[in-house]
Amino acid sequence: MPGASAQQTIGPFWHVLEEDDWADLTRFGADGPKLILRGRITDGAGAPVTDACVEIWQTSPAPAEDFPGWGRCATDGNGHYQMVTFLPGQAAHVSVMIHARGLLKPLMTRAYFEHHPMLEHDAVLRAVDPARRATLMAKPPPPLGEVWGGGENPDPGGEDVLQFDIRLQGENETVFFEI
């Protein structure tokens, strides 16, 4: 039997597919503690990645009729993305997949939540070099007034706002996984 078909880059024009409301995983009416997950994607030169497709997937809270567990959004002209979802319950992470021009296949990473009770028991995180684990942690956004990755400052956000920046290459390169 042949193996899986080969991947090819999503390219720069995938936005033809884009539906703005797919970035809001709460749109089907589910209730729960909300999480705004946002961040900035930069390349090996520190430049913003302005044409990426970001997808998240979470199994907690459990996907249901009113919660898809999956969302997609585009990065903007400053490399920023933003999803609206619910805080995971049992799992200490949300899975994040990145597609972009220049990526011949998807990049897979995880946004972990500090202070989550399951964090210290997480076998995936423990398999990562401790020196690189910080790249997998979503953090509270810096206070208003600090430059947040160039360009305009976003909303100050509340305690349900977490920032997960992704560095594709170079210093503090984000940990990416293969399955």
Q: Which residues bind other proteins (CB under 8 A)?
A: 1-17, 28, 43-45, 47, 49, 51, 57-59, 63, 68-70, 91, 93, 95, 97, 99-108, 110, 123-124, 127-128, 132, 168-170, 173-179
Residue 58 near residue 85, CB atoms below 8 Å: yes
Q: How far is the CB of 156 from other proteins (least distance, A)?
A: 31
Burial class of residue 71 (count of CB atoms within 10 Å of its CB; 0-12, 13-18, 19+): buried
Q: How far is the CB of 65 from other proteins (least distance, A)?
A: 9
Measured from the CB atom, the residue of 40 and 110 that comes closer to other proteins is 110
All residues at 6 or more sequence positions from 90 whose CB lies less than 8 Å from its CB, including other chains = 60, 118
Measured from the CB atom, the residue of 78 and 153 that comes closer to other proteins is 78
Residue with tokens 């930069």: 42
Identity of the residue numbered 21: D
Measured from the CB atom, the residue of 65 and 159 that comes closer to other proteins is 65
82's tokens:
């933003």
Measured from the CB atom, the residue of 30 and 157 that comes closer to other proteins is 30
Instruction: Supply the DSSP symbol for 124.
Output: H
Q: How far is the CB of 116 from other proteins (least distance, A)?
A: 14
Residues in a beta bridge with 93: 112
Q: How far is the CB of 42 from other proteins (least distance, A)?
A: 9
Strand, coil or helix: 138: strand
Measured from the CB atom, the residue of 127 and 147 that comes closer to other proteins is 127
Tell me which residue of 20, 89, 22, 27 sits closest to 58, measured CA to CA: 89
Q: How far is the CB of 159 from other proteins (least distance, A)?
A: 25
